[in-house]
A = this chain, B = another copy of it.
Amino acid sequence: MPHREAPTYLRIKSDFLARIRSGELKPGSSIPGDAEVAELFGCARQTAHRALRELADEGVIERRRRAGSRVALRTSQTARFEISRIDREIEATGAEYRYELLDRQAGSWTSLARERLAASRETPVLHLLCLHFANDVPFQLEERWIRLDTVPSAARQSFAEVGPNAWLLEHVPWSDAEHQVSAISASASVARRLRIDAGSPLLLLERRTWLDPQQPVTYVRLSHPGDFYHLRSRASQPKA
């Protein structure tokens, strides 16, 4: 296999990343401007510009007009967790997936859900209670509220076969999403559904989505027995 030469803009990025990693360039160090970088690497300004722009987009450096570019000061690590459709996630492990709709009620608010969806008592809502199984073992309990004024078509869905998450992902676009992960004790009723002991640790994933910043779509609480479920994330520093 012949070694293919990397594009110039990637070589420039690699070069700066290596110099940052080695400690030669420290957070706050200033970086040559587009024109100078272009001259150093013997390329057009546009090419140098692309390398530096992408480094800035990735948060590696900070650029300001007139003031020039500097190595960014990193204070936090970020982890990106993929939250897949539960059916695919279960099937990916080789287990058999099964879905069960436990309850479906229009107009059934809880005060928590009303607050989360910025709704009044009169706002039309669909409440769903669903259970997801892996090899016939309860894996996830899903408590969901859907605002019917935002998504009227949901009222015509039975959700007997297709889970609400799969349906919403395919039929309702979203502009904003909020996730929250916490650890709680299983209440008696949740524990009964999940066939675990009351008080057992649960990994609770809450999600809200919006059609646009003014229109909440759904609020969902996904409870998982602590032994079964975890969120995983693997990240690399920007490479090239």
Q: Which A residues lie at the B interface, using CB under 8 A?
A: 20-21, 23, 74-85, 88, 169, 173-185, 199-204, 207, 224, 226, 229-237
Contacts and interface: CB of A to CB of B under 8 A. Distances in A.
Contact of A177 (B169, B200, B226, B235): B235
Contacts of A176: 234-237
A230 B180 contact: yes
Contacts of A77: 82-83, 169, 177, 207
Contacts of A185: 200-201, 226
A83 B80 CA distance: 10
Contacts of A199: 199
Contacts of A85: 75-76
Given A181-B230, A185-B200, A237 B175 contact: yes
A195 B145 CA distance: 36
A63 B207 CA distance: 30
B174 A226 contact: no
Given A185-B200, A203-B183, A226-B185, A234 B178 contact: yes
A118 B94 CA distance: 27
A177 B21 contact: no
A173 B200 CA distance: 38
Contacts of A83: 76-79
A234 to B, nearest CB: 5
Contact of A183 (B74, B81, B174, B183): B183
A201 B20 CA distance: 40
